Amino acid sequence: MWFGARRIILAAESARDAAASLQRPPDLLDKPSIAVLPFANMSGDSGQDYFSDGVAEEIITALSCCNWLFVIARNSSFAYRGKSVDVRQVGRELNVRYVLEGSVRRSGHRVRFAGQLIDAASGAHIWADRFDGEMHDIFEIQDRFTASVVAAIEPRLQLAEIERLRLKPVANLDAYDLLLRAQQCIYEFTEISFKGALRSLEEALAIDEAYAPAMAAAAYCYAQLYNCGWTTNFETEAAEGLRLASRSVELGKDDSNVLWMAAFAVWLLDGDAQRAKNLVYRSLARNPNSAIGARRLGRVDVGKYGQGV
């Protein structure tokens, strides 16, 4: 009897653990992750909930175009609808690093959107802004707000990830961490920093030889070294940069950042403006709200070289 009862207990515990594992999100520590909470309807009319919900849903969809970012599905984040919760609790329960929350207030023909991006571990605000507009076209203004939010928070998320890296022991760096270290060097924009970025990217590719973002970033570095007159052997470096650009596009053909970085390398190292434009158009098709992708298209269209990331 005891053994039979014990088997029943173990089976029940196993079923419970299995169900719990299905409810828990996967370990996302190797990739930045965000939950977009339902936007609060501040209009005093519950009939307008559909509009505030629609705003959050549009932002979830737009952020999902950022391949480097894991975005929690609507069904999970909307479980907090109508609840007053601490974002740190949300971060723990959904296993995300960042939380975006906001509100919508409609009054007559005017509407105000407000949003804030929060570090789920510390509760610190990373970004906050508001957007006012006229209600002539409800969907147009919703799209404009979505575009402005995504364009604003994407670079801030990258900077927040770089800042987080400072606290991680060097011995524990993985391929993604090394990519972040390279990005930090790229932002410094010096000959030494670009060469340091290449070293970090080489280490990342030694860990994962098919890591398309690291390949594209390395191709971008070679292009900027040439752009700034810092090359030591143009033919060798250009050949390596173009090889990495082509390979990164093969492996990361749906990654908007990979595509615009490869485009920049193709444009500068090979002088192929048409191919570069095609790659940037593909990048923007995958992430229409990418400010840097739009900037790359502008530079390629103008067809002029010059410094700047």
Confidence of residue 7 (pLDDT cuts 50, 70, 90): very low
- When comparing pLDDT for 289 and 71, which is higher? 71
Range with the lowest mean pLDDT among 59-63, 105-109, 240-244, 274-278? 105-109
What is the per-residue pLDDT across 17-30, written as a single tens digit (0 to 9) for each? 333 333 434 444 46
Per-residue confidence (pLDDT) for residue 44, from 0 to 100: 79
Q: Per residue in 210-232, pLDDT tens?
A: 999 999 999 999 999 999 999 99
All domains of the chain, ordered by start, with CATH?
Answer: 33-153 (3.40.50.10610), 170-302 (1.25.40.10)
Q: What is the 3-state secondary structure (H, E, C) of the chain?
A: CHHHHHHHHHHHHHHHHHHHHHHCCCCCCCCCEEEECCCEECCCCHHHHHHHHHHHHHHHHHHCCCCCCEECCHHHHHHHCCCCCCHHHHHHHHCCCEEEEEEEEEECCEEEEEEEEEECCCCCEEEEEEEEEECCCHHHHHHHHHHHHHHHHHHHHHHHHHHHHCCCCHHHCCHHHHHHHHHHHHHHCCHHHHHHHHHHHHHHHHHCCCCHHHHHHHHHHHHHHHHCCCCCCHHHHHHHHHHHHHHHHHHCCCCHHHHHHHHHHHHHHHCCHHHHHHHHHHHHHHCCCCHHHHHHHHHHHHCCCCCCC
